[in-house]
Structure 1
Amino acid sequence: MNKAKRVITVILLSFSIILTGCSLPGLSGASDTTIKIGSQNLTESEILANMIAQLIQRNTDLDTELIKNLGSNYVQHQAMLSGDVDISATRYSGTDLTSTLGMDAIKDPEKALKVVQDEFDKRFEYKWFDSFGFDNTYAFTVTDKLAAENNLEKVSDLTKDANSYKLGVDNAWLKRKGDGYQGFVETYGIEFGQTYPMQIGLVYDAVKNKKMDIVLAFSTDGRIKAYNLKILEDDKKYFPPYDCSPVIPKKVLKEHPELEGIVNKLIGKIDTETMQELNYEVDGNLKEPSVVAEEFLKKNHYFE
């Protein structure tokens, strides 16, 4: 009798699991209604991923999941290929052109964007959207004070006193092909007196505190404005464009066609200065990216 009771209990428990569909992984079908949004380990990437997530949640019955801290463009791309990410919140035209696509850099922004859009469609069946409105490129940056004292407006102005300047740069850029240090020397004919490799996040404090004379920064970083730094014009157009766009596989858009219209609400709406300000709200004022995203959307009437 005890054995019979145990058999009946097992049968009832198994039947309960089948009915609820939530006690075992993979039975709930949650992935069919959950859009996974990938962000790189960049402040602006997290902010924009949160904007997209909040717009989806506000305008559809879909759930969202943020896949954070994708450490490189390669990791982000592999996550999309494997289906672990449905939307890449931030992809940069110049980066994907040379890395993912293995093509030569293109200096014309419109042409570069067109090429990555066409190639991503052809090779991967992904829709590469138009730009959010900003270009997060490398930028040689000095203090406003040094710029005023030495009449520095463009990169070529550094030629005269280059041997006396200390340059702080992202370590990876020194060895980078195509748009790295060696190519810069060949293009501008400028070699600095001393070059210090450092983490990109440290360059802003280094130049602000006069540890460095010049640093290679990212043009959308909020500390540029907050620290009274000046971006020098890349007058020889050495750096390729890095216009920022979201990317979504076409099969995801086919399953959820409403996503295209939602994402398009942000296209062309965020310029470089706005992105600097949003980034500084996180990096300088220590707000959560989700809060900064919500504040932007409310301020610009996206929730009305």
Structure 2
Amino acid sequence: MFNSKRFLIVLTVSMMVFMSGCSLPGLSGPSRNTIVIGTLGTSESQIMGNMVRLMIEHYTNLKVNTVNNLGSSTVQHQAMMNGDVDITATRYTGTDLAGALGMKPVKEPKKALEIVQREFQERYNQTWFDSYGFANSYAFTVTKELANKEHLRTVSDLEKHAPDLKLGVDNAWLKQKGDGYEGFSQKYGFEFGKTFPMQIGLVYQAAANGKMDVVLAYTTDGRIQSFDLKVLQDDKHFFPPYDTSLVARNEVLEEHPELKGKLQKLSGKIDTETMQSLNYEADGKKKEPSIVAKNFLEKHNYFE
């Protein structure tokens, strides 16, 4: 016998399950006067996420929730598209040019930023803010001792020593098309004597203890300071730019017009060396990213 009441209950529950399946696990979407910020699992992303949170709390009466440890730029982008997250704290031009936009790499930083800002407005109704001022890019790195001994300042300076040098590098980069090892060799015109695939987290220690002569690192990684390493200038501009910005959904900026101007205060305020130091505070000195962010903003009076 047909039970209309039972049918309605089953239908309602089924619809709830279906709707919940449209969003990321653990995210239920922001409420009206609450801003949700998404970050990656890195110290860098969480430091910047906390800066964004603190700026909003300092300048507005809005509530803020943070969703940490989103697994990748792809996950961040999907969370924004679903409306589960209002702001993603760290988006990188080179990453989203290839990923979210499916476009070819652009080597000129200003042009790359212009493209992502235009395309995110047109395709996704999102505002890509001007860069914080730092770029988290690939960088060939050596000990300061080796740099001083061999007068190494740029990547090109490695050429005459390359046959005798050991390169420690993330395995994925060795096989990467375009801006991987093959492309690098063609651009710079030399190869290293030996290459050793490694986990990225191990390259810094390997350089510091002399097991590797050169390692491919990230420019803002705090371990560069921790192990007293020197980043060599990419003088032939081989690597795509990875300038870093926050991205916000336009619906949120329209609903809360006070947000945009306050968040723009962060643009251009944090250069690569400063971000490296902030990451070192978290990764080297083991301070909570929220404390690192708060100390920095208080030092600069929230850029008032």
TM-score calculated relative to the size of structure 1? 0.87
Relative to structure 1, is the Cα distance of residues 303 and 109 closer, same or farther in structure 2, using a 3 angstrom cutoff? closer
Q: 1:268 aligns to what?
A: 268
Q: Which amino acid aligns with 2:31?
A: S
Q: Quote the Cα distance in structure 1 between the aligned partners of 2:226 and 2:168.
A: 19
SS in 1 for 2:66: strand
Q: Quote the Cα distance in structure 1 between the aligned partners of 2:52 and 2:280.
A: 19
Relative to structure 1, is the Cα distance of residues 255 and 284 closer, same or farther in structure 2, using a 3 angstrom cutoff? same
1:303 CA drift (Å)? 8.3
Q: 1:257 aligns to what?
A: 257
Q: 1:88 aligns to what?
A: 88
1:139 CA drift (Å)? 0.5
Q: Which amino acid aligns with 1:46?
A: Q
Relative to structure 1, is the Cα distance of residues 33 and 58 closer, same or farther in structure 2, using a 3 angstrom cutoff? same
1:262 CA drift (Å)? 2.0
Q: Quote the Cα distance in structure 1 between the aligned partners of 2:100 and 2:244.
A: 15
Q: 1:52 aligns to what?
A: 52
Q: Quote the Cα distance in structure 2 between the aligned partners of 1:112 and 1:260.
A: 22
SS in 1 for 2:295: helix
TM-score calculated relative to the size of structure 2? 0.87
SS in 2 for 1:66: strand
Q: Quote the Cα distance in structure 2 between the aligned partners of 1:152 and 1:298.
A: 37
Matched, 1:302 2:295: no
Matched, 1:196 2:196: yes
1:30 CA drift (Å)? 6.6
1:227 CA drift (Å)? 2.0
1:178 CA drift (Å)? 2.4
1:193 CA drift (Å)? 2.1
Question: Is the Cα contact below 8 Å between 2:92 and 2:242 reproduced in 1?
Answer: yes
Question: Is the Cα contact below 8 Å between 2:30 and 2:85 reproduced in 1?
Answer: no
Deviations 1:102-147 (A, max 9, x none): 1111111111110110011111111000000111111000001111
Unaligned runs of 5+ in 2: 1-28
Q: Which amino acid aligns with 1:39?
A: T
Q: 2:78 aligns to what?
A: 78
Relative to structure 1, is the Cα distance of residues 188 and 303 closer, same or farther in structure 2, using a 3 angstrom cutoff? closer
Q: Quote the Cα distance in structure 1 between the aligned partners of 2:303 and 2:243.
A: 26
Question: Is the Cα contact below 8 Å between 1:58 and 1:303 reproduced in 2?
Answer: no
Unaligned runs of 5+ in 1: 1-28
SS in 2 for 1:32: coil
1:110-259 aligned at under 5 Å gives the runs: 110-259=110-259
Runs ≥4 residues deviating over 3 A: none
Q: Quote the Cα distance in structure 1 between the aligned partners of 2:171 and 2:218.
A: 14
State the identity %: 60
SS in 2 for 1:139: strand
The alignment's C-alpha RMSD in Å is 1.7
Q: Quote the Cα distance in structure 1 between the aligned partners of 2:114 and 2:34.
A: 30
Q: Quote the Cα distance in structure 2 between the aligned partners of 1:277 and 1:153.
A: 21
Of 51-60 and 129-138, the range deviating more from structure 2: 51-60
Question: Is the Cα contact below 8 Å between 2:37 and 2:49 reproduced in 1?
Answer: yes
Q: Quote the Cα distance in structure 1 between the aligned partners of 2:276 and 2:298.
A: 18
Q: 1:20 aligns to what?
A: none
Deviations 1:230-277 (A, max 9, x none): 111111110111110100011111122222122111111111111111
1:281 CA drift (Å)? 0.4
1:189 CA drift (Å)? 2.0
Of 58-67 and 141-150, the range deviating more from structure 2: 58-67
